[in-house]
Amino acid sequence: MPDAHLSKTRGMEFLQRAFASEQSCLVAKLRSSDRIVHDGDRGEVNEQFFIEVLRNYLPNRYTVHKATILDSDGQVSDSIDVVVHDRQYTPTLLDSESHRYIPAEAVYAVFECKPKIDKTYLEYAGKKAESVRRLKRTSVPIPHAGGSYPAKPHFEIIAGILAIEADWKDGFSTSFENCHSALNGSNRLNCGLAVDGHAFDTFNAGGGYTYCKSENALVFFLFRLLNQLQSLGTVPAIDWNAYASQLSK
């Protein structure tokens, strides 16, 4: 069993090879969807591939769906391809087989899925992110045996883009930064992955770029995302009365 031997004697090389295999398998799945004629159908298949990968790697406190985000004023976001949201304290609403509404307070991260990452798709993903971040989020104190914890401040919802490839010849570098840096408000994107071997994020203090260009870009991206999610802690406690009040009017 050469792989078992390799895992004992050269563990790092084993992990790199194993994770590279994960990436190449995802690339193959995404590229196989090219056989689907209609763009919309092909897009839905690719979204599901990304959703499955995130579900496999994220802890059970998170879940991942395609969804629309809803707030207590009745405002809604655009349809979001991939939403990472709380599954422990917050129900999804009005679920159907392929779609659901998620309260804004429950959202950790949103992603747009595209065939490639270029200037146009960056801007498009930024608009989708903005449609989520503009929504109202409530937060109420959390009761405990000795009293209550104060209402938790809201964190910034992570936003990113997922694709098969990057459109720039040099990957995520100067040309990319010129396009990405224009997204500097509520439409900014914190991270991105091109599964042909490119990843970026701005999670470090100060917002500087961190890049990975390798056959391990997929798992690099996932581990960096995991660390950022971990730093956010738990979503705020929802004021369900604010939602109920909309139904009594």
User: Amino acid identity, residue 76?
Assistant: V
239 labelled catalytic: no
81 labelled catalytic: yes
Question: Which of 71, 105, 112, 118 is labelled catalytic?
Answer: 112
Pairing of strands 107-117, 158-166: parallel
Question: Which of 22, 47, 114, 128 is labelled catalytic?
Answer: 114
* Other beta carbons less than 10 A from residue 43's beta carbon: 16
13 labelled catalytic: no
Question: Which of 81, 105, 167, 196 is labelled catalytic?
Answer: 81
Positions marked active-site: 81, 112, 114
